[in-house]
């Protein structure tokens, strides 16, 4: 919906003054003339809320009313739009967003966890109260992924959506590939550089990417997706050895979140994948994100950029604020909210694909025959096999063995891996990685 914008300032209440919150204030101050011209009216932060009043955030907060309780900020009559940058799917963040929408006030948020888990209810509340809910900053930072899917591709039927959705994991895998260092060492370095949190589990276990994929899939397919139905794996078990073998085979390893809609329903997963090293997405390295969409008419598109940080995320927040100032808003999922239950992703075992399987096995005759017999019994066909690496010590009683399969069912592959893991000749848990060829 679009309405004629006012020329009076759009008054903002900002809940959360961390890196992104301070970044929003800095951007609005630095680009005030530009933002006013594009919004058709000034954007003015009139009220703020955070836990610590004494902390120096590097921005001027004078003239802004301070609220110790963020939900009190919502009721301020001089706040037209609530900007929620607290984070988290529960607690204060959820209370602020729900209170603002219930009061009929537009909300701009960067909170992917909140939208992934409570998006359906928030969308209904937004529609009931005619209170826009915008969230460009919730997915891939400054990359305009939401606008691409919800607006740029609004007339197309999307077949798949996803990409590299977590910069921390992409950075770790990139450095492991380039240096040969192990996962733990690179993670510690990433934490020192500020690319990984002190508790990195949300990133490295795939949950952050899954939150973003849930949102993208809901937009792509015009209906919210049940977050808990997604299959989610992280990168903890990816070793430097896997990146070496992947290079030998002509691949790179990326943590991908991908959702596809087919005749059999929705496939949605976050998993490490081998991608051909000449594929565009394989070239996206470091802390960068990439979002890929494929439409029946538009074909395949990919946009990439920094997926986090004060600058990119603040830019996305401000873009949403400009839309509100202009009176341009759109339903949360791109279509009118309904009471239809969220889409459930199919069980991962229902999928098919080709797979990379890395084993650590005893270096003695008959081992390969034992393993291939299990694959044969499970109906899994082998495409290629690799043994040893240039660094392999001939005195080591265990050697790495890599098997690459033809297309097979994931259920058959899971059965085979479970049986192989039970063989006496196999030490350490097998590492299975899906191969993405398209």
Q: How far apart are CA 52 and CA 213, in angstroms?
A: 33
More confident residue, 296 or 142: 296
Reading the block at residue 323, the tokens are: 């839309």
410 is in an annotated binding site: no
Per-residue pLDDT, 120: 92
Q: Please tell me whether 408 is known to bind a ligand.
A: no
Is residue 276's pLDDT more than 60?
yes
**Residue 15 is assigned to a ligand binding site:** yes
- The confidence score (pLDDT) of residue 398 equals 80
Using CA atoms, how far apart are residues 198 and 273, in angstroms rounded to an integer?
A: 26
| pTM to 2 decimal places | 0.91
Is there a contact between 145 and 329 (Cβ–Cβ < 8 Å)?
A: no
Asked if 162 contacts 291 with a C-beta cutoff of 8 angstroms, the reply is: yes
> 21 among the known binding-site residues?
yes
Comparing 49-53, 122-126, 136-140, 274-278, which segment has the lowest mean pLDDT? 49-53
- Of 134, 90, 385, 364, nearest to 245 by C-alpha is 385
Say how far apart CA 267 and CA 91 lie, in whole Å: 31
User: What pLDDT is recorded for position 427?
Assistant: 86
19 appears as a binding residue in the annotation: yes
16 is in an annotated binding site: yes
pLDDT level of residue 51 (50, 70, 90 thresholds): confident
Q: What is the dihedral of CA 158, 162, 163, 165, to 10 degrees?
A: 150
Q: Hey, what domains does the chain have and what are their CATH numbers?
A: 10-138 (3.40.50.720), 153-306 (3.30.360.10), 349-435 (3.30.70.260)
pLDDT band at 73 (very low <50, low <70, confident <90, very high): very high
Condensed to tens digits (0 to 9), the pLDDT of residues 99-131 reads: 999 999 999 999 999 999 999 999 999 999 999
Q: Would you name the residues annotated as active-site residues?
A: 212
Q: For residue 241, give both structure tokens.
A: 């050895």
Alpha carbon distances (Å) from 402 to 239, 359, 372? 13, 6, 12
pLDDT of residue 395: 59
């Amino acid at each position: 919906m679009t309405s004629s914008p006012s020329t009076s300032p759009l008054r903002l209440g900002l809940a959360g003054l961390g890196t992104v919150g301070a970044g929003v204030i800095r951007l609005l101050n630095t680009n005030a003339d530009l933002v006013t011209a594009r919004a058709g009216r000034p954007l003015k932060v009139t009220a703020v809320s955070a836990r610590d009043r004494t902390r120096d955030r590097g921005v001027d907060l004078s003239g802004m009313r301070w609220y110790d309780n963020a939900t009190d900020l919502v009721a301020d009559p001089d706040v037209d739009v609530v900007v929620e940058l607290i984070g988290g799917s529960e607690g204060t963040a959820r209370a602020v967003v729900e209170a603002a929408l219930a009061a009929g006030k537009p909300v701009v948020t960067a909170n992917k966890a909140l939208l992934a888990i409570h998006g359906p209810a928030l969308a209904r509340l937004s529609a009931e109260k005619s209170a826009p809910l915008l969230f460009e900053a919730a997915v891939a930072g400054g990359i305009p992924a939401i606008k691409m899917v919800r607006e740029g591709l609004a007339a197309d039927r999307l077949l798949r959506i996803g990409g590299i959705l977590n910069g921390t994991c992409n950075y770790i895998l990139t450095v492991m590939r380039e240096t040969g260092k192990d996962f733990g060492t690179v993670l510690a370095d990433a934490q020192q550089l500020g690319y990984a949190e002190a508790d990195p589990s949300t990133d490295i276990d795939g949950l952050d990417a899954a939150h973003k994929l849930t949102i993208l899939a809901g937009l792509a397919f015009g209906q919210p997706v049940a977050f808990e139905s997604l299959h989610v794996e992280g990168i903890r078990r990816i070793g430097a050895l896997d990146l070496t073998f992947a290079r030998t085979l002509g691949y790179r390893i990326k943590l991908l979140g991908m959702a596809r809609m087919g005749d059999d329903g929705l496939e949605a997963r976050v998993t490490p994948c081998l991608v051909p090293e000449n594929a565009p997405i394989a070239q996206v390295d470091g802390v960068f994100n990439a979002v890929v969409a494929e439409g029946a008419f538009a074909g395949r598109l990919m946009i990439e950029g920094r997926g986090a940080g004060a600058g990119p995320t603040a830019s996305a927040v401000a873009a949403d604020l400009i839309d509100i100032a202009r009176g341009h808003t759109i339903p949360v999922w791109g279509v009118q909210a309904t009471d239809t239950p969220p889409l459930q992703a199919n069980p991962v075992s229902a999928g098919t694909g080709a797979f990379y399987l890395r084993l650590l096995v005893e270096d003695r005759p008959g081992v390969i025959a034992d393993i291939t017999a299990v694959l044969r019994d499970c109906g899994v066909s082998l495409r290629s096999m690799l043994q040893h690496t240039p660094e392999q010590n001939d005195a080591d009683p265990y050697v790495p063995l890599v098997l690459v399969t033809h297309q097979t069912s994931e259920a058959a592959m899971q059965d085979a891996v479970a049986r192989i893991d039970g063989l006496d000749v196999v030490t350490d848990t097998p590492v299975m990685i899906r191969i993405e060829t398209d």
